[in-house]
Structure 1
Amino acid sequence: MKHHRRLSARFFGFGLGMLLLALCSIGLTMWVTRQLDGAAAAVNEAGRMRMQSWRLVSLVQAQRNASDVEQRVAELDATMQLLKAGDPQRPLFVPWNVETRARFADLQNAWQALRPAWSQPSGTPYAQDLSDQVEVFVQGVDELVHAIEATLARLTAILNLFQFMMMALAVAAAVVMLYIGYLFVIQPLKRLQAGMRQVEEGDFSARVVAESPDEFGELAAGFNHMAATLHTLYHGLERKVDEKTRDLAAERTRLAALYEVSNFLVEAHTLDELAQGFAQKVRRVSGADAVAVRWSDEASQRYLMLASDCLPQEIVQEERCIEAGLCACGQPQQTARTRMIPIASADDQRHGACARAGYGALVSVPIRLQHRILGEVDLFYRQPVALTTEDRDLYDALTGHLANAVENLRTEALVREAAVSEERALLARELHDSIAQSLSFLRIQVTLLRQALPRPQPVQVQRILDEIDVGVKESTNDVRELLVHFRTRTNSDDIEQALRTTLQKFEHQSGVKTQLDMQGHGVSLPSDVQLQVLHVLQEALSNVRKHARASQVHLGVQRGPEWIFTVRDDGCGFAPAPQRADDTHVGLHIMQERAQRIGAHLQVQSVPGSGTEVRIALPVT
């Protein structure tokens, strides 16, 4: 496409021409206006010469000093020189032509003839002669002024004519611009608009004729290309919509299958239930004819079949435990990946059992947990299948969920085992710290009783029997307290009800009056923390019952960001650690262990004869 044919080049050329014409007109107008200004100033200066000449006549007639006359003559000389040379700063200059040059020459001659007359002696005949000479000089000034004014009239006429021509040219340029705009802009736009309306109405066969190789021609070509592309897309849209619909339906099916299997894995409680249900659901999702779920040992050397679905019994029995790499199933850990394995013939040792059962393809999916291979899921097909990227991602996601579910089962089992172990250890400590010591004491008393029976010592025998009776009662109370401790549960977020129940049981067992004081507001404690706090408080109350000989117990609870529990009694108290009895030390040791388990701070303050205070401060949560 040639550059000069472009619409932008046309408008640029027309605009440049109009700009040059405007600059020329502005320059010519400024020149004519300057000529008019200079000529008008020259007319003013020439008029001053009349006034200056008659002023000289007045000075001479009035017989003024010669110096005044000479000054006026010098002013006339300066004015004459100004008219001749001009002053471009004002501006002031005579528009020289043949007429003005002739008149100015006559004026100079008249002034040269008049100038010597100013130095002659004064008198009446002299004054009359001087007036005549001045009249001739003034007439020459008038003729020069008339010549300049004639030139001004011509320049004014030229300026008016040029302004009229510029107005006519502006009108013509506007008409030409409108015509060019209509020819090169409006008409192509109308054609494009007509084509757009056709496309909006669904007629994608609409085309725009490019009449000129300019920008609108390029737009027309682009519009025609767009219309052709839309025509192609429109006719292929239904096919593409069907393809996208099928893809979305397949993706929705995969997501639904993933959600279903994930939901089942969360609800399963045993490994057998997990494996068998997973096999059934994966077979339905994948469309396989049979599924086997195998689990491997730590080194992935052998695979054990956990569950299967629709797999022939002979294969289940034959491949219950297989060695990695000896069969199509059971991939070695180093090369384990999701892949499709075609089953060629029954003569192949690795495919023999599957081929005899009538399967034509096998999809092997490793069960991977991070970098460990936990097992493998085998999908059996009687016809060859294609393993797409979407299928591979789906199978990997499903087996990943299975690995996590199995790991969660193992973790839950470990947690339950740890909980049972911890509970047993706690029970052992409780039995050792309470009932075991009482039984040891009873065994000693029985030994003393056996030694005292052969000898007639009724007083000693009665004392031993009383001690045995006291020991049995204490053991019975300890057993009851243990039962209370291990049956204690919190069924709500508020610990207040559990505290009141504990104090009621304490009053019933010991006959000591209790008082509960709850203050403040705070976030409820977690259930496990509440349970440990109750155990510590029950141990403190047990120590009060056993050792304090108190008449009243006060339990204060400060609720807030930091929970504080305070148990105070008015009993006998006890001495500092070196003087404390062993049984009291055992109770405090148990309380300290429970407080440490929940991160609480336990503080015991006691003064002999002034009671005991046990303070439990929980960390801010």
Structure 2
Amino acid sequence: MVESIRRQFTRSVTSTITWSIMAIMVVALLSIFVSYWITEQGELDGQAINLSGSLRMQTYRIGLASHQQDNQALRTHLENLAVTWNSSLFAPLAQRGDDTELSRAFTLANNHWQEQVKPLFERILSLSGDEKQQATTTLLPLLDRQVVLTDKLVYQFQLRAESRNQRLRLIQVLGLFTIVCVGSLVFYVLRERLDRPLKELTHAADRFRRGDLNQRVNLSVNDELGLLADIFNRMGDAIGKTYEELEQRVASRTRDLQQQTKALQFLLDTSGTIMSAYHTPVNYRQIVRNLGQLIEHQDIEVCLFTEEGNQPYYHQNAFGTAKDCSQRDCNDCRSTSCNTTQTEMTFPITRDSKQFGLLTLHTKNTASEWEQQLIQSTADQIALALTLTEQKQLDRKVATLDERNVIARELHDSLAQALSYLKIQVTRLQKTTEKGRYDLQEPIITELKEGLASAYKQLRELLTTFRLKLDETGLEGALVQTTDSLSERSAMKVTLDYQLQDIPLSPSEEIHLLQIVREAGQNAINHSDGSHLHIEFCRLLDDQILMVISDDGVGMPDDPTKLNHYGLAIMQERARNLNGRLDITSKPGAGTTIRLKFTPDVISLRRAS
């Protein structure tokens, strides 16, 4: 794969680097090889200079031996000189026969020795006496000539050695210059084709890393770096396109989240408005107005009707006048004929299979999915508000009926019996008048006065009980007010120990407990003749509530249920409403204790779940 891609390049970076390194290596190797060869030749020149210099010394020795007429030494020196002239160092000069100063010097010196000096020495060795002396005299000029020729030969060897040394220096300088030139060329090529593109790629990559996704590399080279630049540009284009798409998706998602946040905030505000509107009616038009501002649709109507009616009792437009539907029957909108059209979209306001009305959107364009969901959620919120309103009305009716039953029981058990007793006394008084027994009327009148006083007292107690209410302080605050009221109305010391701060009680439970406390407290201050009344509320280990009301009075008779004015029956009924048990213990002279034990609704719900 790499080779196939590399073949597409007219100039490859790797090939350029390879050839550049090979060129430097070839130049260096040639320079080293030539230097080595010339150095090797220079060593032979040194030996040749030494050997040619020894020819001169041997010539002097031969002349001295001849002068001393030492034939033995002369023969030895002649043999040594002959070996020197036949040395292998001189063989190339003797065989080549080229026309050079060195070759001519060697030929002249060698021929002069071989043809003139050596034959004369050989003849001297065979002569004696005057002939030998005469030949020796003749030899001296020849020896001088031989020495001069030998000096020329040594000089020529020196010149050749110096020439080779100069040539070696020249080759080394040329090699160094060539290496410098080739290296400079390679440096320039690598800088232009490798260093500069790499710097551009590195700079582009760094800018790209810093977030400049528009950074591109402009390299018009047909090699690996050009391919890398092209791939980098394509990668930048792909990443830039992907980043742009991601930005668009993020922006779209952000808009969706903002819409959802506004929708949730609207639903939260609407729910809070509905839940807080306990004593005041819900402003449905304002809710629909806020909905229209949120979805940017102005023409929204809310239409409310009863299940039995055929005309709406509430019909409002969010920003204008509601559409006249006096000629239409509400049953038409309840049926399936009132569906969504091109210009009108309806959303039912229903809860628990009960339809309260419709939300109608008049629009030229179909609402989006989230807008339809928001409108339907608003319709559900309005349905919830209407359901809560009906439930509050029903609760008020039930509370009113319960309160009327309580009033009826209280009047029957107290004031009604007192009035019956007074009626009996009035009947007795009439009979005594008819019979003329006026002497019997005074005790009857006394009983009537006492009965009227008792009835009036019971009436005031009932009025106080009926005016009882719970404010923001809850049960504890109402109990404190009750104990203060009992203390003001009697000489008894009334104390309260309330330990139910961590138990939330329902309003019904609080009312029943408070009524029992007031009834028991009234009985205690009216009939116990005690000095202390203690009221205690606590939580037992089994999460039940215990209420204890005790006094240190005279106690109760054996059958206290016959004393209806004590209200014992009413307290028993309230205990049953609390699903609890009321126990009364009393001893003559030891006071009375009333205990109520029950499980509050919050604990029952927790156990059920």
TM-score normalised to the size of structure 1?
A: 0.54
Q: Does 1:570 align with 2:548?
A: no
CA-CA distance at 1:248 after TM superposition: 5.6
Q: For 1:494-573, list aligned pairs within 5 A.
A: 498-499=478-479, 501-503=481-483, 505-506=485-486, 509=489, 511-516=490-495, 518=497, 523=502, 526=505, 528=507, 529-545=509-525, 547-548=527-528, 550-557=529-536, 559-561=538-540, 562-573=545-556
**1:232 aligned to which of 230, 241, 245:** 241
Does 1:389 find its partner at 2:369?
Answer: yes
* Partner SS for 2:312: strand
Structure 1 distance, partners of 2:304, 2:525, is 58
CA distance in 2, matches of 1:589, 1:467: 26
Identical aligned pairs, as a percentage? 23
Determine the structure 2 residue equivalent to 1:369.
351
Q: What's the counterpart of residue 53 of structure 2?
A: none
Residue 400 of structure 1, CA deviation: 1.5
Residue type at the aligned position of 1:379? L
- Tell me if the contact between 1:290 and 1:380 (Cα under 8 Å) persists in the aligned partners: yes
Opposite residue 557 of structure 1, the aligned amino acid is E
- Given that 2:476 and 2:498 are in contact with CA atoms closer than 8 Å, whether structure 1 keeps it comes out as no
Aligned to 2:316: 308
Deviation at 1:464, TM superposition (A): 1.6
CA separation of 1:272/1:421 partners in 2, compared to 1, >3 Å: closer, same or farther? same
2:204/2:216 contact within 8 Å kept: no
1:480 aligns with 2:478: no
Q: Which amino acid counterpart does residue 332 of structure 1 have in structure 2?
A: S
Which structure 2 residues correspond to residues 59-70 of structure 1 after superposition, within 5 A? none
Contact 2:533–2:550, Cα closer than 8 Å, also in 1: yes
Aligned to 2:113: none
Relative to 1, partners in 2 of residues 1:516 and 1:364: Cα closer, same or farther, differing over 3 Å? closer
Q: Displacement, 1:366?
A: 2.1
CA contact (8 A) 2:519 2:566 kept: no
- CA–CA distance in 2 between the matches of 1:602 and 1:447? 39
Opposite residue 206 of structure 1, the aligned amino acid is V
> For residue 424 of structure 1, what is the aligned residue in structure 2?
404
In 1, the alpha carbon distance for the partners of 2:500 and 2:331 equals 64
Give 1:277's match in structure 2, choosing from 275, 279, 286. 286
Contact 1:438 1:475 in 2 (8 A): yes
Specify the SS of the correspondent of 2:434. coil
Deviation at 1:397, TM superposition (A): 1.6
Tell me, in whole angstroms, the C-alpha distance in 2 between the residues paired with 1:302 and 1:437.
52
- Tell me if the contact between 1:272 and 1:306 (Cα under 8 Å) persists in the aligned partners: no
**For 1:395 and 1:267, how far apart are their aligned partners in 2?**
21
SS at match of 1:315: coil
Deviation at 1:429, TM superposition (A): 1.1
Is 1:196 matched up with 2:178? no
**2:462 is paired with a residue of what secondary structure?**
helix
After TM superposition, list the pairs within 5 Å mapping 1:347-366 onto structure 2: 361-366=343-348
Tell me how far apart the structure 2 counterparts of residues 610 and 543 of structure 1 sit (CA, whole Å). Answer: 16
Partner SS for 2:283: helix
- For residues 396-453 of structure 1, the C-alpha deviation after alignment (integer angstroms, 9 at most, x for no partner) is 1211211111111111111222212211111111111111111111112111211111
- Of the two structures, which has the highest relative contact order with CA contacts closer than 8 Å and spacing of 6 or more? 2
Which of 573, 577, 590 in structure 2 is aligned with 1:597? Answer: 577
CA contact (8 A) 1:294 1:307 kept: yes
Task: Give 1 or 2 for the bigger CA radius of gyration.
Answer: 2
How many Å apart are 1:261 and its aligned residue?
4.4
Q: What SS class does the counterpart of residue 323 from structure 1 fall into?
A: helix
Distance in 2, Cα, partners of 1:228 & 1:572 = 99
Alpha-carbon separation, structure 2, partners of 1:532 and 1:608: 28
Q: How does 1:394-409 map to 2 (within 5 A)?
A: 394-409=374-389
Matched, 1:293 2:312: no
Superposed, 1:48-63 pairs within 5 Å as none
Per the TM alignment, residue 573 of structure 1 is displaced from its structure 2 partner at its CA by: 2.4
Distance 1:530 1:567, change over 3 A: farther
CA distance in 2, matches of 1:477, 1:469: 12
Contact 2:486–2:494 (8 Å) recurs in 1: no
Distance 1:583 1:221, change over 3 A: farther
Deviations 1:72-104 (A, max 9, x none): xxxxxxxxxxxxxxxxxxxxxxxxxxxxxxxxx
SS, match of residue 304 in structure 1: coil
User: How far did residue 388 of structure 1 move?
Assistant: 1.5
Cα separation, partners in 2 of 1:380 and 1:224, compared to 1, 3 Å: same
Between the aligned partners of 2:494 and 2:320, the Cα distance in structure 1 is 70
Contact 1:271 1:409 in 2 (8 A): no
Task: Report what 2:216 is aligned to.
Answer: 205
List alignment gaps of at least 5 residues for structure 2.
7-194, 604-609
Letter in 2 for 1:565: V
Q: Which residue of 1 aligns with 2:426?
A: 446
Taking the aligned partners of 1:556 and 1:269, their CA distance within structure 2 comes to 34
CA distance in 2, matches of 1:523, 1:243: 49
In the other structure, the counterpart of 1:614 is 594
Superposed CA offset, 1:154-180 (max 9, x none): xxxxxxxxxxxxxxxxxxxxxxxxxxx
The runs of 5 or more residues in structure 1 that have no matched partner are 7-185, 325-329, 343-360
Look up the SS of the partner of 1:464 in the other structure. Answer: helix
CA contact (8 A) 2:487 2:493 kept: yes
